[in-house]
Amino acid sequence: METLRHIVLFVHLIGFAVLFGAWAAQAFGGKRQITKIMDYGLAIAGVAGLALAAPWGLPDGYELNYVKIGVKLVVLLIIGALLGIGSARQKRGAAVPPAVFWLIGILALLNAGLAVIWR
Ligand code: HEM
């Protein structure tokens, strides 16, 4: 079970990499647009994250930090809302507001930072 949990964690990290990688490609040298790949990355990180939020496959005595997990879930929902707002603007032919675009990358990094720094 521990190995399976590590595989789900690996999938979770792939989701983060896909989301942040797609965003970084747009941010630095791209057109600063919202892309479908960002949605896929968020979905992968979200589904795997929810699976990791349940207490299974953990070493004896390991306690999950549910406050941290709750905060990460809220941040994920905000990223999802920003992706929705940004792509709706794009569909109307308008530019993605800079605050919306930059917050997506910052909040993705925030969630990764929370995961590794807040124990
Ligand atoms: C953009 C969204 C997210 C990003 C970038 C992200 C990033 C990460 C990273 C980098 C890790 C590895 C940390 C480590 O192994 O020490 C991790 C672990 C984890 N994440 Fe996420 N995450 C996101 C969303 C979520 C969501 C929505 C949930 C749950 C509702 C979640 C639950 C977890 C759990 C339970 C772990 C394992 C932590 C532990 O064993 O202490 N994550 N996340």
* pTM for the whole structure: 0.93
The string of pLDDT tens digits covering residues 94-114 is: 999 999 999 999 999 999 999
pLDDT at 119 over 90: no
Q: How far apart are CA 80 and CA 19, in angstroms?
A: 11
Distance from residue 70's CA to the centre of ligand 1 (Å)? 11
The string of pLDDT tens digits covering residues 62-87 is: 999 999 999 999 999 999 999 999 99
Distance from residue 12's CA to the centre of ligand 1 (Å)? 7
Q: Write out residues with Cβ below 6 Å of ligand 1.
A: 9, 12-13, 16, 19, 45-46, 49-50, 52-53, 69, 72-73, 76, 79, 108, 111-112, 115-116
Q: Is the distance from CB of 22 to CB of 41 less than 8 angstroms? A: yes
Of the pLDDT bands very low, low, confident and very high (cuts 50, 70, 90), residue 30 is very high
Copy the structure tokens of residue 21. Answer: 């990688």
Question: What mean pLDDT is predicted for residues 10-35?
Answer: 98
**Which parts of 28-97 fold into alpha helices (H)?**
36-52, 66-91
How many C-beta atoms lie closer than 10 Å to residue 62's C-beta?
8
- The total domain count for the chain is 1
Which residue has better confidence, 6 or 119? Answer: 6
Beta carbons within 8 Å of 91's beta carbon, 6+ residues apart? none
Q: Is the distance from CB of 104 to CB of 86 less than 8 angstroms? A: yes
Q: Whose Cα sits closest to atom 15 in ligand 1?
A: 116
Q: Whose Cα sits closest to atom 20 in ligand 1?
A: 49
Q: How far apart are CA 112 and CA 75, in angstroms?
A: 11
Q: How far apart are CA 71 and CA 49, in angstroms?
A: 12
Question: What mean pLDDT is predicted for residues 32-50?
Answer: 98
Domain span including residue 113: 2-117
Q: Whose Cα sits closest to atom 16 in ligand 1?
A: 116
